[in-house]
Chain A
Amino acid sequence: MTMFAGTLPTLLAAADGPFIATGSAPQWVALMPGLPLLGAALCVLFACLNVKSKLPGYATVALLAGGFVTALAAFLQGPDGYGVATIFRWIHASIGADADASITANFGFYMDGLSMLWMLFVTGLATVIGLYSTEYVASDKGLGYCRFFFAFNLFVFSMASLVMADNLLLLFLGWEGVGLCSYLLIGYFYKKPEAVAAAKKAFIINRIGDLGLLMAIGATFVVFGTLEFRPLFEMIAQGVDGKGQAIGHTWVVVVIPLLLTAGAFGKSAQLFFYVWLPDAMEGPTPVSALIHAATMVTAGVYLIARMFPLYAADDAMVALTVVAWCGAITAFWAATIEFAQYDIKRIMGYSTISQLGFMFAGLGLLGTTGAVFHVFTHAFFKATLFLCCGAVMHGFGGQLSLRRLSGVMWMKGFGITGVCMFIGCLSLSGVPFTAGFFSKDMILAQAFATPDEMIGGATFIGLLLLLTATMTAYYTFRVFFRVFVGPRHFEPGEDDHGHDDGLGHDAHAHHHHNPTEEEEGDALHTGFHPHAPGWAMNGAMVLLAVGTILVASLYFVNKKEDHGWAGTMVRHSTAAYPSPGLAHGKDKPAATTVEPLPLGAPAPEHGQAGKPHAKAGTFLGQDPFKIMYYVSAVLGLIGILAAAWFHAPKGAWGLGIGNRELPSKVRMDAVAARFGPIPKWAENKWYVDELYHAIIVKPLLVLSHVFHAFDKLVIDGLVDLVGALPRWLGTLLRPSQSGVLHGYATGMVAGSAVLIVLVVLVAMWS
């Protein structure tokens, strides 16, 4: 308490406490989840009417575009429009005789910078990717078309509910809703056993994380007496719980964040939970792009950013340290696996895990702005990359192996794909002046700016992330150099469009087996002709690629005041936090400024009284936020050059150093051979799936079988034994039934005698 007594005034004095949206937002923000929900209902209607055209797709795109327009409109209102919009009362139950104490969860929307930012890219990307999908799943018209867009719409609705929720329970609704849609969409090609298994795996692993979230909700409710954000954050801002008791230095600020973290890690595929995301690539590519790259997987980041005040209320920053370390380790771990992967979509999947690791590291290192900005940019460039991969997959019969594709960019109709891919790769690699460059830099710089005293091992995390950034550049361009440039070559995949869907498939495949249009390709597959993306797919890719370029400029919006547009948004949200070395406002120049105390920082009497307890860190003696531009640029280029050296083709696109002539023969093979079995291990994802199978799934399955047998034999056996007891007794007494009349008569006589004697005795006794 004494420690807290010192901290509280500091807290209240801090100019940049968590922003709490106090006003009321306009009711029409409900259109953001509402329009997709309408779309989902429409898709059901279309399915009932047996619509066999692309109508569901276009209707979806139109409604999603409406959602985006709504988001834009809300955004344009600026901070004035931030607040809570309550639509209707969902769950309301009193907890005792006291009528005030109740658990309330409304369909209410909490609009602040954070949800605004998220909604902008969620609705925007959903519209574009929806457009792309209208063509991508076109072969399923009348079959799974409605189902696809139903789930797509439902996903956007759920995501909107998650992001805009004004209470933890509605957030949980969205949280589970996106999980369901993810399940439905991963399993879209339901005849593929891998897809079904992947869908199941995704849902179940998410559920494990959700248990943490559920417990966190429970604990939050018990401690604060509410699940609604506004009162919740008001209490946290004052450092008190629902009964006015201080929460600093208690389990509350450690356990609840850790439980939330478990939920976030499940959804965002971090650390122990990452295994579902690569498998989720079994789903249609637009789904991977939207759900498993751009939006749903960032829900974990959103959750932590949303609940950041609670994390920051801990002096020791236990939970944030955990988040930072886990993020960094995941980022690095996923990158190592990528080195040895050959499926371009899976590479993108692991890359997503890795990038999510960056975001979590950013959050953990107290750099909410960087993390959120990275979420935003990543959504664009990763979606671009996925859509390009999808175009390749769509065109080459589901072929995804980078050993079997080469020079795709030079094939007819794939030029746009190649260019967009290039732009995406540049951004992911962090080449200077791309979106990814700026956002990743903020996280990297934050790692060095945040003093180790606040987040244990921040510097080491920074170094790990720098290494990972280099690796990222390498593996990104590995894909580009091998698949998109170089000698033209392809081997079509086993199925058309990467899936097999009954009747539609046959007709469609036949259409492509047209030898007269044969232009280029493998001699072995003369019957196959690549299927270039059409206007919708190209349009979507171009839109996203342009978006990827443009979002870089956001870094310069409000640069002075808030370190970029994302900073402005974050400042007007609960994620607002005075990151070390990155003060808000122009009157506080970075790095040299005395850093304002974070929430719940050690009390002055423990540090130097009245003085900042720790200075922002430096990188090689420089302001990390300045020098990092150069460091990361150099590292990124090193990674690209390495990729070129090992994988690039001869000629200009090989930057003059590449020497690849065949699709599958590269310098890297020789290097890999030196490492013995290690590349093999990496290709098999370090056998983590197998490990889980061996230590969790298998024992659980055995346990289930044991339980089943136990239930049958022991428990039911006992019951049957009890049932058999009378039967056994009956067998014992059976001979007494002689079947002869006399036997019964004798028994009757003796019985009457005994009864009379008994009566007499009783009469005498009483």
Chain B
Amino acid sequence: MLDLFLAQSAFPQAMGQGVLAHYLFVSAAMFTLGLVGFLTRRNLIIMFLCTEMMFQAAGIALVAFSRYHLNYDGQTFVIFVLTVAAAEAALALALVVFLFRKRDSLSAEAWLEMKG
């Protein structure tokens, strides 16, 4: 039963393009959702969360391609994505804390120094 669910195709076997398309669509949709979130939410933390979501979407696409091509490069790349995401999370959250201390607010709109 589990086999039926899991093994759409056993590992060394090639994955069909149709299946790949599904994964890519999920990836793109998740990316777009992250994007929409980034653009609409005003809480800095949520905005960063949305960027993480976009990372994840990219991860799905990479892993899907890795599976399709039957090599590990895509997954290796996801590890780097994870690294960068972790680094980004650390820095971004530190920044958020820093900014929050300055303005006592998490709103991205509290920062308008770049206004022309």
Contacts and interface: CB of A to CB of B under 8 A. Distances in A.
Contacts of A745: 38-39
B112 interface: yes
Contact of B112 (A733, A740, A746): A740
Interface string A348-370: 00000000000000000000000
B18 interface: no
Interface residues of B, number: 14
B108 interface: yes
A160 to B, nearest CB: 75
B116 A737 contact: yes
B91 to A, nearest CB: 16
A744 B115 CA distance: 11
Contacts of A744: 114
A736 B38 CA distance: 19
Given A740-B109, A741-B108, A735 B116 contact: yes
Interface string B102-116: 000000110111111
Interface string B32-56: 0001001110100001000000000
A749 B39 contact: yes
A92 interface: no
Given A746-B39, A749-B35, A749-B39, A741 B115 contact: no
A738 B39 contact: no
A739 B112 contact: yes
B27 to A, nearest CB: 16
B39 A739 contact: no
B18 to A, nearest CB: 22
Contacts of A740: 108-109, 112, 115
A742 B39 contact: yes
A760 to B, nearest CB: 15
A89 interface: no
B104 to A, nearest CB: 18
Interface string A709-746: 00000000000000000000000011111111110111
Contacts of B108: 740-742
Contact of B115 (A733, A739, A749): A739
B116 A739 contact: yes
B114 A739 contact: yes
Nearest to B32: A749
A228 B79 CA distance: 92
Contacts of B40: 742
A190 B38 CA distance: 81
B47 to A, nearest CB: 7
B35 A738 contact: no
Given A742-B39, A745-B38, A736 B112 contact: no
Tell which of A734, A736, A744, A749 has the most Cβ of chain B within 10 Å.
Answer: A749
A741 B42 CA distance: 9
Nearest to B110: A740
Contacts of B113: 739
Interface in B87-113: 108-109, 111-113
Nearest to B36: A749
A753 to B, nearest CB: 10
A61 B112 CA distance: 86
Nearest to A734: B116
Given A734-B116, A738-B116, 14 more contacts: A733-B116, A737-B114, A737-B116, A738-B115, A739-B111, A739-B112, A739-B115, A740-B109, A741-B47, A741-B111, A744-B114, A745-B38, A745-B39, A749-B35
Interface of A: 733-742, 744-746, 749
7 contacts: A738-B115, A739-B113, A739-B114, A740-B115, A742-B38, A744-B114, A745-B38
